[in-house]
Every structure is written in structure tokens, then in C-alpha cells.
Structure 1
């Protein structure tokens, strides 16, 4: 059972619906537990299952007998939590149903110690804590009251097929015009939620630096991400970014796309993609860009250096717009380099970061010490 009692919508909340079809393909019967009316519940339905739903986290705790009966009826032996606040319910269920294997994936990257009495009880019921990168595991080892052997690194994965190029030349040129990219310009994109810490301000300042350092270079910026709270963004920060764009003289050279569902196709319209997030626990966007065979510049912080090296992309200090300007200029000047890096990046995703491989390893964690379900 995938447990995610969140009313939000981000990578953490999307994860269960991403793995459910692959778990089913690999022979597992999957169940879900989510909040009534949440996007998580809707996404689970879209992924092919009908989740058990509760009105709130409090109602879930009060209705624990109902959930226990559901677990027993469906002979569910594994409970996989994705949000730390859900561990209260997960640990209670594991206490009342001792045969239940409780797993928790730390999608966010813990930032403070969790070793008080409550956390020792809750994490004490966790069979396996899964860290999504080596950087995250290092923090987990420091923060959680668990022995090292119960904290394992399991990289995330994606289905690379949707990111393979599909547009013909005419379609690609049409999409570029739609995005405001002038003919012959180098398109420099940045995808992601428009929130503090993702680095859009650094990216804009780097583009301003590129404008001054290379006045003869034809380029256009494409900022991809929702502009409203309902789309996962910080509206006050969006306003700051638009004001910064005006102040830097970039209003005519940067397109704010708003929320888009066709991200793999947008990548096809771009030449360079930047991910300057300051402290990614993994960097899912990075491997999506890599799967699209695009030249990517990532932040030299968090887990991103585990994904990129000099053969597959470039790294830059997320606190230094000048470093990003330099990296952008290098890639803008060399079409062959962009092609070589992009092709090598896609191959690495195929070799190391596929969803099938991720789920296969996850199933291994589900099964260890217990029978298959």
C-alpha cells in the first residue's frame, strides 16, 4: 500500500502514481491510501487503482481500525510512506499489525535531527528508510534514530521513452515560435516550480550577464513552471521574478510559459537546460533533461553532482550567476559539444536511472525478510 496523506502537489506527491503502473507490470498488486478529494487520490485513480480515502490525517488516526481491517482483507504486507508526517499513522499500523513491513522514502532530505522520544518510537517501527541520493543518506544517517544498515540509498528513476525526440523540424520550429524563440537563437530553458531555492533568480541574473558579456549572441530564455499557487508555485516569488526580469532588461528575451503538461516536447525546443536548485535531495528534473538528450547545466550542490559529470553536462555554483553565465556561453558556442553531452546524458539515464530498474530495486526492499506479495 502506498500511503500519502498530502493535499499538496509536487514530486513527493507524484511519486506513488509514477511507480504504481510499473509495480503492477512487475507483478505486484498495489493499493493506496490518500486524502479524499486530493490530487494524490486522483493521480492514483489515473494510475489504475482505487485508493482507500480518509477525510483528514486526524480522521485516519481515529479510523485506524477501518484501515487495519482493509489491510487484513487485502492481505497487505507492505506499507510504503512518502511524507514524514504520515509516519505517525504508519508506525501505529505497524505496531498494531506486527507482520507489516513499513518503509519510508525521504523525498525531501531531512534538515534537522529527529531523535526525540516520538521520533525514536515512530522510526523504530520503520523496516527500511530509503534515501534518494548519497547526499540525502548522509543527512539521514545524522538525523534519524536508525542504524546505518536500515538506511539505504535508492536513486529515483523515470520512464525515458516519453523524452525521446518526436517532433519533426516543422513541429519543432512551430513550438519555438509559440515560446517566443527567435529564428536562429539559442534557447536556454529552466523548468521547475517557481519557488525560493529553485534558483530562478540566479538564472535570470546569469542571463543578464550573458547579455552583457556576449552582446552579439542570439539567445532566448524560457522559464517553465506554473505561475499560481494552484500550480505549485509561490505567487509572491513569481512577481519578484517578473520584476527582476524587467529590472535586468530581459522582458523581451525571457518567456514565462506558465504550467505546461508537455514538458518532454518543450525540451525538444530548447538547446540548453539549466537546473540551479540550491539543495536538491535528488534532482528528478535533471534526469528528465538528460533523458531528453539535452545539454544540461546543474547546480554543484545537493545530489545533482551525483547525476552529472563532465561527460554528461556541466556544473555551476548555485550562488554565482557569473559561473552560470560562463557555462551557458561555453555550451552556446559549441553545437557539437551540446550534442555530445546530451547523447551521453541520455545513455546514462538508460543505463542507471530507468523507472523499471528503480522499481525492481524497490521490490527487492519490499521483499527482503518477507515473502513476495
Structure 2
């Protein structure tokens, strides 16, 4: 693990949760890009790859000193458990810190969270909807993705062969954790409804079921078998090369009942795949009319009708695919997200 000297660090990105989550994934993807832009970001805490620059807890005494740019360092928290120690470091120990908090929450905050947020120097919301739940001013910075990793294949048939799929079939996909909250059952039920009338289409569910959700997944597999579609609704599990699976798709469906932000529609659109998404998380702010369709959460009939319409219209899917790739490349790159974060850091430092 590359421990670096805190004297060279301008921004600290704490991660105080061991289990992998969307927040952790955001840190993992952002920090290398931020450092390529010269922001000098280091992580602190467990559960992060060794490839990222780490700072040791025992070196935090250096926070009594100014950073390498002769200004306070920025502590960029993304959870309550990361805001609280920062407040102690700054307000009780009088260390030279500016505190930034990013929220993806789309619900009313508890009194405790409101207190923590009130002590921050700057607030970032990951969507306009998230910002609407804030009692204090915030800057909306939506997540971006790596548009080089998530990019269209040169040959879609070959992309399907590469992961063992039939190159003569078209595929609708639903990627992410397999659980009720994610609406995996709605996707399965919609596919059971529409695939019999569309013999040139199959469906892929990529993602992992954990703990109590394993039984939920087993029930879905049994439902698929009972419908006689086990060879056309395929559970492929979790994959580290998920970008290669996106390249096999002709349509992506994000059926979530609830979501904080949700990167999967961006990953699909960056890969030139049209998206049907429910109206949760940031999805309505991500998917535009030309790139796909947004519908009410939990509405199986609407999802089935929409899927049927998109499956049957090759021309519409082709137009949406091209628009989707352009939309993400122009508005949702991870480099753009990092640049916007850098502007917030500069602003809070300037207020020192």
C-alpha cells in the first residue's frame, strides 16, 4: 500500500466503511482522475485498493500545518461517520481543514445529519433532486463515468461471442445487485411477458445476490424455469469486466424501486445502449427523451409495454444508441466530475 507524506496532500478522501458500496466505488474511480488533474488527493481508511495513495492515521498531526499550497487541506466526506471526525479535527483540535460533504440522499435528513451538514464549509449534491432535500445551499455535481472503459464495441456480434453469448440474438440487460429494491423481479416479469413474442431477443441479469437476497434470486430463477425461458433469461452473476457485458446489449432496463444516484444507466448509455429507467434516484436527470425512456417505478405493465415497443423498433434503438453515447460524452465524464470537484475545493480554500 503506497503510503504518502501528508505534507504533499491537498485533499483527503476518507472511507470509513469496509464493505464495498457505491460511495466506495466513487472514491476508487475518482481519485486517480483527480490526481491526473493535479488535485493531490489521498485516501484514508480501510476497504480501498492498494493502488490508491493512502495516508496513515498516525500522520494526521500534519493537519495542524497548512497544505502544500499554503492553504488548509480539504476533507471530503461522503458519510456521517466521515463528517463527525472531521468536525472534531477542525473545531476541537483546531487543525487547518476545510470540510466538504457530498450527499446522494433523496429523503429528509435526521436532526443529527442536519447538524453535521450545518458544520460543513461546502455541500455537494449528486442531483437536483438530492439538492431539494437540503436545508443549506449546495452545488450540484452529478457523477461521471470513464467513457473509455464504457464505450461501444467495434463489432457487437464479436462482443457477444467474447462472453459466450449467441451473436444472432439481441439482448436486453439489467445489471446491479439482485434484490427487491433494485427491481430485478420487475425486469424478470417484464421479460417473461415480452420474450415469447420476440424470438430474436433474450435477457441478461448480471449482478450478485447476497445474504437474505439469495432466496429472492432463487425464486426468480424458478419463475423463469416455470415459464420455459431458462435458456433466454440468463443469470450470469457478478463480473469485474462488466463493461464487456454492456457491449453485448441492445437495450438496458433499470427497474429500480429506489436508488440514491444510480450509475448503470450512464454506463449503458456510454456504451451506446438505449435505456428504459424508472423515475428514481437521478435517473430522470440522466435519461433524456432521445436516449431512452423514464417511467413510474413499480409499474410492471408500463415496463412491459415499453420494453415491447423498444424491442420491436430497430430504427428507434439505433437513433437512441447514438444519442446516448453523445449525451454521456458531453455531460457525464468522470474527468468532468473531477474538474467540478476541483472548483469546489478551490472555492473553500479561497475562503480561508
Short-chain TM bin: 0.7 to 0.9
- Tell me whether 1:69 sits opposite 2:53 in the alignment: no
1:229-262 C-alpha deviation (Å, 9 max, x unpaired): 5xxx932332233233334443232111111111
1:326-370 C-alpha deviation (Å, 9 max, x unpaired): 111111112221111011011111111111111111011111142
Equivalent of 1:276, from 255, 261, 264?
255
1:288-342 C-alpha deviation (Å, 9 max, x unpaired): 1110011111113332111112211112333122211111111111222111101
Structure-to-structure mapping, 1:78-227, within 5 angstroms? 78-95=74-91, 96-97=93-94, 99-107=96-104, 109-115=105-111, 118-119=112-113, 121-139=115-133, 141=134, 146-147=135-136, 149=137, 151-168=138-155, 171-175=158-162, 178-179=164-165, 181=166, 184-211=168-195, 214=197, 216-227=198-209
Matches of 1:272 and 1:119, distance apart in 2: 39
Q: Equivalent residue for 2:245? A: 266
Q: Equivalent residue for 2:296? A: 317
Structure 1 gaps, min length 5: 54-65
Residue 90 of structure 2 aligns to a residue whose secondary structure is helix
Residue 327 of structure 2 aligns to a residue whose secondary structure is helix
Equivalent of 2:41, from 7, 30, 41?
30
Q: Equivalent residue for 2:3? A: none
TM-score by length of 2: 0.87
CA shift at 1:165, angstroms?
A: 2.6
CA shift at 1:173, angstroms?
A: 4.2
TM-score by length of 1: 0.83
Matches of 2:114 and 2:275, distance apart in 1: 41
1:32-81 C-alpha deviation (Å, 9 max, x unpaired): 1112xx2x2x2xx223x13436xxxxxxxxxxxx4640434683610011
CA shift at 1:371, angstroms?
A: 4.3
Q: Equivalent residue for 1:59? A: none
Q: Equivalent residue for 2:347? A: 368
Residue 161 of structure 1 aligns to a residue whose secondary structure is coil
Matches of 1:286 and 1:94, distance apart in 2: 38
Q: Paired residues, what number?
A: 336
Q: Equivalent residue for 1:308? A: 287
Matches of 1:170 and 1:195, distance apart in 2: 30
- Tell me whether 1:239 sits opposite 2:244 in the alignment: no
